[in-house]
Amino acid sequence: MTDAANSGRVGADRPPVILYEEVVKRYGGFVALNGVSARVHQGEVVCLIGPSGSGKSTLLRCTNALEAIEGGRIVFEGQTLPTPALAAPVRRRMGMVFQNFELFPHKSALENVAIGPRTVLGTAKAEAEEKAQALLVKVGLADKAASYPSELSGGQQQRVAIARALAMEPEVMLFDEPTSALDPETVGEVLNVMKRLAEEGMTMIVVTHEMTFARRVGSWVVVFDKGRVVEEGVPKQVFEQPREQRTRDFFSHLSWSG
């Protein structure tokens, strides 16, 4: 990557956590990722934006090897990502937050947060639950430990989901449109938790349609279209002086023109 391409990038001098090199992902004959190259440095908040269907979620699922890639490679902390069948040890070092929360409905909020360490790391119940409680405090849900997901609002569920991912003490957090399924009044509480995480120095990849969040919290913005990176840069440049026509097209489709 040239210096010019990284201009103004605050994290560029820090070690890369994730490297994407010419990543190709196909579903049958359909090419979902068509040679994606990008990088994420320690402590960066990289925001992936772009039209729906452009491959953003696919890239996240490939990042923690929930799906195999057909070409190129993904390097995490210096190691090429293994195939999905062998990826459990790598996945425990990455946290993932889903658009639909995907909390475990048969477990309480506390159990949802404790189950990762309990199952994967073999942490003792008391210790795991103590830590889970502390994480619920951190996301502002100290009083919801005993509640089941169906008893929580969308924003509360998503905050539990963030706590669940944090319980594994991941080196990087992957967010796939974490606020898209939320009622407008609960979006803010989730974004605030994410902002706080970013300020603590967590490395984050965030797929989002919340342009305000990308602008204010993002340290690097990557614009996707049709399975390719169209443009990337610091938020100020991408949002105020987009270099590519397709970026401008995307922004113009975002604004309501009724």
Enumerate binding residues for another protein (CB under 8 A): 61, 64, 66, 88-89, 91-96, 98, 100, 102-106, 115-116, 119-120, 164-165, 168
Residue 67: helix, strand or coil by DSSP? coil
Nearer to another protein, 112 or 247 (CB): 112
Q: With binding defined as CB under 5 A, does residue 63 bind Mg ion?
A: no
| Nearby residues of 174 by Cβ (< 8 Å), 6 or more positions away | 60, 63, 64, 94, 95, 96, 97, 204, 205
Q: With binding defined as CB under 6 A, does residue 54 bind ligand ADP?
A: yes
- The nearest distance, CB 9 to Mg ion, in angstroms, is 25
Nearer to another protein, 98 or 250 (CB): 98
- The nearest distance, CB 148 to ligand ADP, in angstroms, is 29
CA separation for the pair 93, 111 (Å, rounded): 20
Nearer to Mg ion, 69 or 128 (CB): 69
**Which residue, 256, 37, 66, 43, is CA-closest to 176?**
66
- The nearest distance, CB 22 to ligand ADP, in angstroms, is 17
- The nearest distance, CB 57 to Mg ion, in angstroms, is 3
Check: CB of residue 36 under 8 Å from CB of residue 227.
yes
Pairing of strands 45-49, 220-225: parallel
Q: Choose the stretch contacting ligand ADP; rule: CB under 6 A; options: 50-58, 104-112, 156-164, 188-196.
A: 50-58
- Single out the residue of 8, 53, 188, 201 in contact with ligand ADP (rule: CB under 6 A): 53
- Single out the residue of 41, 56, 91, 118 in contact with ligand ADP (rule: CB under 6 A): 56
Of 23-62, binders to Mg ion (CB under 5 A) are 57
**Which residue, 60, 56, 47, is CA-closest to 218?**
47
- The nearest distance, CB 236 to ligand ADP, in angstroms, is 24
Stated as kind and residue range, the H or E segment containing 49 is: strand 45-49
Q: Choose the stretch contacting ligand ADP; rule: CB under 6 A; options: 10-18, 46-54, 84-92, 127-135.
A: 46-54
CB under 5 to 8 A by kind: which of ligand ADP, another protein, Mg ion, none does 104 bind? Answer: another protein
Q: With binding defined as CB under 6 A, does residue 58 bind ligand ADP?
A: yes
Nearer to ligand ADP, 63 or 156 (CB): 63
Check: CB of residue 50 under 8 Å from CB of residue 34.
no
Helix 125-138 and helix 154-166, axial crossing angle in degrees, nearest 10: 130
Check: CB of residue 100 under 8 Å from CB of residue 52.
no
Residue 202: helix, strand or coil by DSSP? coil
DSSP secondary structure of 85-115: GG-HHHHTTEEEE-TT----TTS-HHHHHHH
Binding site for ligand ADP (CB under 6 A): 27, 30, 32, 52-58
In the complex, the residues that contact Mg ion under the rule CB under 5 A are 57
